[in-house]
Amino acid sequence: MKRLFTLLVASLAVALATPTSEASARELHIVPAPTYIDLDSEGSYTVTPKTTIVVEDDAWNAADRFAEDMQSYYGSKKPLRTAKRGKGIKVRIDRFVPEEGYEMTINDEGILIIGGSEAGIYYGLQTLRQIIVTNNSVVPYGFIADEPTFTYRGAHLDVSRHFFSVEDVKRFIDIIAAHKLNRLHWHLTDDQGWRIEIKRYPELTEKGSERKETLIGHGLTPTEWDGTPYGGYYTQEQVKEVIAYAAERYITIIPEIEMPGHAQAALHALPWLGCEEQTVDVWTTWGVTPEVMCAGKETTYTFLENVLMEVMELFPSELIHIGGDECPKDRWKECDHCQAKMKELGLENEEQLQGYLVARIEKFLNANGRKMIGWDEILDGGVTPTATVMSWRGTEGGIYAAERGNDVVMTPMKLCYLNFYQTESREGEGLHIGGHIPFEMIYAWDPYEGMSDTAKRHIIGVQCNMWTEYIKNMETIETMLLPRLAAMSEVQWACDRRDESTIRERMTTLRRFYEANGWNYAPYYFEGRK
């Protein structure tokens, strides 16, 4: 039946080539674009604060989240009522619909949303939410069928360079959920701060979560610091709270614990993790430090396994991110422990030593029912076919990994790093890391470019990243994220049906949705600036 659904959608989509159907499809201006829209020539259903959500299957959570969103929109004292019977907005699970897909029928009986899972219902309700908010609560009669292109639709948030509160992270989750993303990659540790409580090693947050000051200006030319201590971390109870909040919005949080590089905060807290056990500060600038974990001492592996065990107890995600990027090998070349380990293992160089560390950690994760994901540097020392690769230095690493059988998430820096400037002139944008990624560049990106059919089968998804060296508050996060996240969501959800001729009109409508939710967005795309 799922195949029949796909064939039905494909045949119905042909109708969109006609001027009449194309005009009808544009009338609702939905982002990301549904697979198929067919609106009746007349008739509509009006949603009000008194509309009931009728739950015919076990989809109460999706209904409750939608009811809360509508409560906020209408400014009512109570969420929309949910019930097991009646008229209004009906939701039902049907396993013959694709798992994350949905069908929506609007007629004089009300609105019926059938999802392949509770998540599918949630995405259908997100589409309905957009229509309600941007169309004055009026939903035209018709039919919508939809399903995503990629199973992994991710956004990354760095809380190590600058710390963001639990409420900030929840707000970030709200924004990406409204764009139908389903993964949050939470970057919890780095040189500038360790942000997650580990009960086995309290020093990590007692000492490693705070730096004595922060660089002023750009990291390429560090000359001045602010002299103000800066820090923050999440207790394990707070982590559980965020995980639960995300799960209610069908988002899986993938934690990242950086190793063996980007670890200076951990080295400050626990000097014995380093090759020379020297005392180092939590780093106060940006970039890449030579201070890394020692890969030659067994105590390092014991530490990593103990930390990961607590992380796995908190996070249900099958994928656990181990970083693996930007690890200078200078200390290892001078370290008796590392050189002895290389000789013991018959390794030819330090890259292979990192490959040993990565493989050993992956084996540990696998033994505990989890899978490893890491930045594409994990390929440099050799990696098993079971590791998932996050391709950031470009697309070449991802293509190489996919060709050899590794699952891959595409997130090339020059297209997916939303901490880059949004306009070529940079006028009015403030200080950021560099680079230039306008909305149009993201929208035009083909994640499959240059790949064989074999490789394409291993591209599980696409992710945008938000690094926070130069981003200090949630307002800036939002203006860097929006509206470019909308372009990314079309790549992730609607890759095969993007339409440059309609996107600007649809974005003008989506802008009203942002404003109704009180989300900050950058004006540059709407002003025509690139």
Q: Which residues are catalytically annotated?
A: 190, 262, 326
How many CA atoms within 13 Å lie on the side-chain side of 122?
27
Let me know: does 456 contact 467? Beta carbons within 8 Å.
no
Let me know: does 334 contact 296? Beta carbons within 8 Å.
no
* Closest to 45 measured CA to CA, from 1, 98, 111, 93: 111
From its phi and psi, is residue 346 left (phi > 0), alpha (psi between -120 and 50) or beta? left
Let me know: does 286 contact 225? Beta carbons within 8 Å.
no
Going by the DSSP 8-state scheme, the letter that residue 216 receives in this structure is: E
Going by the DSSP 8-state scheme, the letter that residue 18 receives in this structure is: S
Residue with tokens 């989300």: 519
- List Cβ neighbours of 313 (8 Å cut-off, separation of 6 or more): none
d(CA 365, CA 368): 5
Let me know: does 116 contact 95? Beta carbons within 8 Å.
yes
Let me know: does 296 contact 275? Beta carbons within 8 Å.
yes
What count of other Cβ atoms lies within 10 Å of the Cβ of residue 135? 18
Q: Give the three-state DSSP class for 496.
A: helix
d(CA 12, CA 37): 9
Give me Rg for the CA atoms of the chain. Answer: 24
d(CA 412, CA 398): 9
At 75, list the tokens: 């400014």
How many CA atoms within 13 Å lie on the side-chain side of 284?
17
At 63, list the tokens: 């209904």
Q: Give the three-state DSSP class for 69.
A: helix
Residue with tokens 């059988």: 405
Strands of the 102-107 sheet, one edge to the other: 36-46, 138-146, 102-107, 110-115, 88-93, 52-55, 82-83
d(CA 278, CA 270): 10
